[in-house]
Structure 1
Amino acid sequence: MPPTKPRPPAPLYEQIRQLIVAALAAGEWRPGEALPSEAALAERFHASPGTVRRALDELTAAHVVERRQGRGTFVATHTAPRDAYRFLRLVADDGASGFTRELVHCRRARATAETARALQLRTSEPVIEVRRLLLRRNRPVVLDDLWLPERHFEGLNGALIDTYAGTLYALFEERFAVHMVRAEEKLRAVAASAEAAALLAVATSEPLLSVERVAYTYGDRPVELRRGLYHTHADHYRNDLN
């Protein structure tokens, strides 16, 4: 068998991108905070400003950072109103915005084999299980089930979720220093079970849109498994393709 050829080093801009992400993961710059200037980053990483700019362009495209005209580059945050529901693509047919939330339960559980695989945990490792409803004009629209590794969310409970005014991702960011950077989703049509039908106030076996999401923080580390059932009678799933 011929010897394996060594992998060529990543381009310099990619190396810098990885170093910036590592600094974000270490908490050097918090969500909402400004990064140093391109010139300062270039000096820190011994690179040209153009190389640093390309690394920041990659991070901007991935929504890890955001550019603000005349102000600089900032760490992306889910607490900003325009980003509050960045990962929720359900849009009302009549243009209505926003949701009210109703917590069904928040409890400690053990990761099933499937949950452990999605979150890269050991089977039976402690997780926090959250079930909640999203409502629009007092009408249930989404039934969400979430599983979170307890080691990253120690102290999360129903009272904290109920009293927090913002979104769950903003709560995770502010109270647990867990920032959701990206997510992968799987969509399929399903029939409402009796339990889901009761919670969503629909008929048993009514068609629903099932959205399974794994959300990742810095370093592509999975920190949330979410299964949502969407009632799309007056809403639709929207995805902008570029």
Structure 2
Amino acid sequence: MTRDVSRPAARLASPTFSPLYRQIKDFLIRSLEHGEWGPGDAIPSEGELAVRFNVSQGTVRKAIDEMAAENLLVRRQGKGTFVATHSDPRSFYRFLRLVPDGGKVMPTVSDPFCCETVLATPEVAAALGLKVGDKVVHVKRLLRFGGESVVLDEIFLLAELFGGLTLEGLRAGERSLYSLFESEFGVRMINAEERLRAVPADGQSAELLGVQLGEPLLLVERTAYTYGNKPVEWRRGLYCTRHHYYRNELG
């Protein structure tokens, strides 16, 4: 049988090569995802993990270094390596980048005023990987810095993960939202992507943020992901930058 030379020969797919330390990293992330070690827990030492995976300690160290750089793990000198947690005060400003013009950190208060289950609009469904009409939990809140209303957040969450969330629960205690999601629902935000643009204040945002109708606000749209790059939260934040600016570190 001869091959038709007018048709291109089929090519075998090349196997995807993954460095050994990346394979160890993937194993560790799956262990975190499945709850083998919870937020704030110490993980086994590099030596113990090297024995467990039958690799060198240097390979384990490289995997852990990369996970620490991605805020999945935290190294503590003389104490060991721990699973990162939103309860750590240092993690608060990892996801909130608004800074007072004077640079001084001001006391931040979250004031939620709405929590309800709604049907996903096309925009929300696209952001969370849902079907239009699927149930989502809808939260509205104000963030106050030093008593000044600065951020109006509209947040949408997967109902399958946050179905028990209530306004009373949101108002209880002084934890950040992500700390609450982690401790009460077992959902940890690993990373997020944001889109920023300037928009004019509408009637509601002008009233709640104490600005003039049409005054420029910074719109920050964020999709937050948990383990496995699964989107679990989409929010639209309107930021008043009259006395604050958005700060990001590159590199």
* Same fold at TM > 0.5: yes
TM range (shorter): over 0.9
User: Which of residues 153, 161, 186 in structure 1 aligns to 2:170?
Assistant: 161
User: Which of residues 88, 93, 118 in structure 1 aligns to 2:127?
Assistant: 118
Q: Please tell me the residue identity of whatever aligns with 1:54.
A: K
1:41 Cα deviation from its structure 2 partner: 1.0
Q: How does 1:175-214 map to 2 (within 5 A)?
A: 175-214=184-223
1:139 Cα deviation from its structure 2 partner: 1.4
Aligned to 1:37: 45
SS in 1 for 2:232: strand
Q: Please tell me the residue identity of whatever aligns with 2:55.
A: A
Aligned to 1:61: 69
If the length of structure 2 is used for normalisation, what is the TM-score? 0.93
Aligned to 1:151: 160
> Is 2:245 the partner of 1:236?
yes
Asked whether the equivalents of residues 107 and 146 of structure 2 are also in contact (C-alpha less than 8 Å), the reply is no
> Is 2:91 the partner of 1:83?
yes
1:3 Cα deviation from its structure 2 partner: 1.4
Number of aligned residue pairs: give it: 242
Q: Deviations over 1:130-173 (max 9, x none)?
A: 00000123211000010000111121010000013200000000
Distance in 2 of aligned mates of 1:76 and 1:21: 12
User: Which of residues 21, 27, 30 in structure 2 aligns to 1:13?
Assistant: 21
Aligned to 1:28: 36
Q: Please tell me the residue identity of whatever aligns with 1:115.
A: V
Distance in 2 of aligned mates of 1:70 and 1:38: 13
Higher relative contact order (CA 8 A, sep 6+): 1
Aligned to 2:235: 226
SS in 1 for 2:99: strand
Distance in 1 of aligned mates of 2:137 and 2:86: 21
Asked whether the equivalents of residues 164 and 171 of structure 1 are also in contact (C-alpha less than 8 Å), the reply is no
Asked whether the equivalents of residues 72 and 190 of structure 2 are also in contact (C-alpha less than 8 Å), the reply is yes
User: Which of residues 105, 118, 136 in structure 1 aligns to 2:114?
Assistant: 105
Task: For structure 2, list consecutive stretches of 5 or more residues without a partner in the other structure.
Answer: 1-7
Asked whether the equivalents of residues 106 and 146 of structure 2 are also in contact (C-alpha less than 8 Å), the reply is no
SS in 2 for 1:213: strand
Q: Deviations over 1:179-204 (max 9, x none)?
A: 01111111111111112111111111
Distance in 2 of aligned mates of 1:96 and 1:20: 35
Q: Please tell me the residue identity of whatever aligns with 1:106.
A: C
Task: For structure 1, list consecutive stretches of 5 or more residues without a partner in the other structure.
Answer: none
If the length of structure 1 is used for normalisation, what is the TM-score? 0.97
SS in 2 for 1:36: coil
SS in 2 for 1:152: helix
1:86 Cα deviation from its structure 2 partner: 1.8
Distance in 2 of aligned mates of 1:120 and 1:11: 30
Asked whether the equivalents of residues 98 and 244 of structure 2 are also in contact (C-alpha less than 8 Å), the reply is yes
Q: Deviations over 1:6-55 (max 9, x none)?
A: 23321111111111111101011001000110111111112111111111
Deviates more, 1:92-101 or 1:43-52: 92-101
Aligned to 2:59: 51
Runs of 4+ with >3 A deviation: none
Give the % identical residues: 48
Q: Deviations over 1:86-144 (max 9, x none)?
A: 20000011213231121120111111122111111222111100000001232110000
1:5 Cα deviation from its structure 2 partner: 2.4
